[in-house]
Structure 1
């Protein structure tokens, strides 16, 4: 366990070199909040409530979901694995004394911990600038499950991107898989809009996928809504995370024999 903590610490410190990335992530968080501020300001107009949301609740949802979605640094996992398999440098992950998936989980956790500080600062600054009255629950019985759900969701996303990355052992280009995953994640995680605005039938269908519980449900819980889904969210994400452990292990062990890269 200690070696993975050290990997996370190294990646955390290494982020200081990439100052432009820091500015880009903060700008992206700000842009999403600004877009929500303008869009929902126009939609609400003189209305006090839309689909059960007040204006402050809607903006609070967007601020929280933007912050949580920016914590997911796992998209780079599939890209890096794919690039290293294709250029032959993936060999180094096969010989160092750590599990390949564990290594990438630790690396992603280190990067996420670093950017969490700046994304939180960006969200708070713009909350003050726009004078948004944040609607947040103060109930520990809701906050704790939401945080656990967030951690499980991030872990699932790392596992998913790892699986997509190692498909490069078999496929020359995994761009199609990444595009499909990106579209699903952008919509089902609720970062584009609250899923409660959709018809009930579509919402029920989305609950079958783990993405529903990655960003959307934790965000809704933190603004004081959807308490009745806590148990379902925790169980569903736990099952998906546990399910992907043998899937990734089996896929990696079967696909890596195709790898003939050289160099460390």
Structure 2
């Protein structure tokens, strides 16, 4: 009997090869259409300016709102904007389109998990976005709007943003999986995006919600997508009257990623049984 001692190592190398090939292919594919991504260079700053105008009007009657100064609010929205450029994801739309058209059947024949493949695609897409979207907007905010975009602790900020990146993907992918039941998930996707952005602190800082809602939001996973990475970037965390050390908050974020991965595995196990390849 022959024992392949290097089999685990070969599997790891194979996954790394798939990662590199998919990331590179996705990067090249989107680089050919980078003008589509470049549009967001204007969308992000314009949205940010709208927030600046709104909050300047709000603060015209006082110096603080829920303990936050105007400068803190502006900094918060600036950090949220640049983090969103890094964590943006469309795995839900991509997966539901594959299911709807029946093209997903080709992935069932491939010796690689579609989730892993989709994640590698996101890496390639966001690597391109790093210089097409993130860096130009970062410099614009830093040099023109004079926003402090230097993280309080670079190490924890990078870890937290990475975890938010993974969590965003897993949540969206789970929404895409519902396509096995619904076929068309556009309505669900739009409702989820609104709920996610509201509960993740994209639209308003979570500390501006009423106390009882903050307690609910504290136990939901949405805060770990944007609010937590933003607060880690700034250097302090508070929600529902609870202030926590940054390492502890990042640990909670890692726990949320693990839980969402298990949710994905469960939904995938139940959903894949329903796929019939309609439209293929």
Post-superposition CA distance 1:138-184 (Å, at most 9, x none): 4x3xx322321221122122112212212212223323432331122
More deviation in 240-249 or 55-64? Answer: 240-249
1:27 matches 2:42: yes
Note the aligned Cα RMSD (angstroms).
2.4
User: Matches of residues 1-264 of structure 1 in structure 2 within 5 Å?
Assistant: 1-45=16-60, 47-74=62-89, 76-117=90-131, 118-130=133-145, 132-134=146-148, 136-138=150-152, 140=153, 143-226=154-237, 228-261=244-277
8 Å CA contact 1:70, 1:119 repeated in 2: yes
Question: SS state of the match for residue 178, structure 2?
Answer: helix
Deviations 1:187-232 (A, max 9, x none): 1111111112222332121011111121112212322332725244
State the shift of 1:135 in Å. Answer: 6.2
Alpha-carbon shift at residue 260 of structure 1 (Å): 2.7
2: distance between equivalents of 1:71 and 1:104?
Answer: 16
Give the Cα–Cα distance (whole angstroms) in 1 for the partners of residues 17 and 221 of structure 2.
30
- CA distance 1:91–1:196, change in 2 (3 Å): same
Pairwise CA distance, 1:127: 4.0
Flag the structure with larger Rg: 2
Task: Evaluate the alpha carbon distance shift between residue 263 and residue 95 of structure 1 in structure 2; reply closer, same or farther with a 3 A threshold.
Answer: farther
SS class of match (1:193): coil
Instruction: Mark the runs of 5 or more structure 2 residues left unpaired by the alignment.
Output: 1-15, 238-242
Contact 1:82 1:165 in 2 (8 A): yes
TM (norm. structure 1) is 0.87
Aligned length, in residue pairs: 259
- Under a length normalisation based on structure 2, what TM-score does the superposition of the two structures give? 0.82
